[in-house]
Amino acid sequence: MVSRGYRVLGYDPESVTLQDPRNVVGVDLYREVAVSRLKYLSKNVLRRYVEWVETDFGPVRYLRSECDLVCVAAYSFVKEQMFTLSEYFYFVKSLSRCDFDLLLRTAFELCSVFPLNIIFSLVNAVYREIYGKRLVSMSLDDWEVRFEVKRFRRQNFQVPFKFHPLTVLNGFLKLFAREEEFRKGLSYQASYLMNLSNFKSFLGELVKHATRKTY
């Protein structure tokens, strides 16, 4: 892609971000779905939800809508740690073509029920404010979810909305308890940070991540 004029915008141990030659589309390429060395979605589970769709350019592999929504929620919470209007519009548009029971089963399989619940709750908060009713109901409940919805309302639904650091920490602890790949990644992360240049780069990115307003 670089030989075709794509420009590298940034990279970490498991991914790289490129910009197309006309500066229109950003492309993220992942070796593993991870934050630094911490894998938060299992590629082995994701492969179960890959299907084929016919396009004008031939058959293309894609994730089922249910799995894709779980991935978007996990990315928003774990990787970006904020909620934006893009999540709201994507969830509102995509839910109509989803099997809700399959969506929840997929979230359980991917150990991403907590991120999905938080994003759903924020989507519901916006939807209720606009239309006077919920978009969807979820029976799962966490105090962190109620806490974030209250913060969101107090901030008058301003987006991008950054999750509280304690909420993110609790989400990581839940992931650590349920996702084996995430636990394995901790040892790789520790080894990666033993290198001083890696540690400096990681610390710089961490500070930038914590203080930025959007992504």
Domain ranges (residues) in the chain: 65-211
pLDDT at residue 74 in the model: 96
Decide the pairing of beta strands 34-35 and 58-63: unpaired
Q: Residue 2 in contact with residue 17, Cβ under 8 Å?
A: no
Nearest residue to 64 (alpha-carbon basis) of 54, 55, 53, 77: 53
Q: Tell whether the model's pLDDT for residue 64 goes beyond 70.
A: yes
Give, for 197, the enclosing helix (H) or strand (E). Answer: helix 196-211
Q: Which residue has the higher pLDDT, 208 or 27?
A: 27
**Position 141 confidence tier, pLDDT thresholds 50, 70, 90:** low
pLDDT of 139 reads 58
Q: Are 100 and 87 in contact (CB under 8 A)?
A: no
Read off φ and ψ for residue 159, nearest 5 degrees: -125, 150
Among 10-14, 106-110, 160-164, the least confident range: 10-14
CB-neighbour burial class of residue 180 (10 A; exposed 0-12, middle 13-18, buried 19+): exposed
Query: Exposed e or buried b for every residue in 90-117, given b needs 16+ CB within 10 A?
Result: bbeeebeebeeeebbebbebbbbbbbbb
Over pLDDT 90: what percentage of the chain? 57
Q: Are 118 and 174 in contact (CB under 8 A)?
A: no
Task: Give the residues across from 35 on adjacent strands.
Answer: 38
**DSSP assignment string, 48-98:** GGEEEEEETTEEEEEE-HHHHHHHHHHIIIIII-EE-HHHHHHHHHHGGGS
165 Cβ partners below 8 Å, 6+ apart? 210
For residue 192, the model assigns a pLDDT of 82
| Residues found in the chain | 215
Per-residue pLDDT tens digits for 77-105: 999 999 999 999 999 999 888 998 999 99
Return the DSSP state at 30: E
Nearest CA among 26, 49, 38 for reference residue 168: 38
Whole-model pTM over 0.85: yes
* 8-state DSSP, 160: S
State residue 191's pLDDT score. 84
Each residue's pLDDT tens digit, 155-197: 999 999 999 999 999 999 998 888 888 888 888 888 888 888 8
How far is C-alpha 43 from the geometric centre of its chain's CA atoms?
Answer: 14
Instruction: With H, G, I as helix, E, B as strand and everything else as coil, classify residue 116.
Output: helix
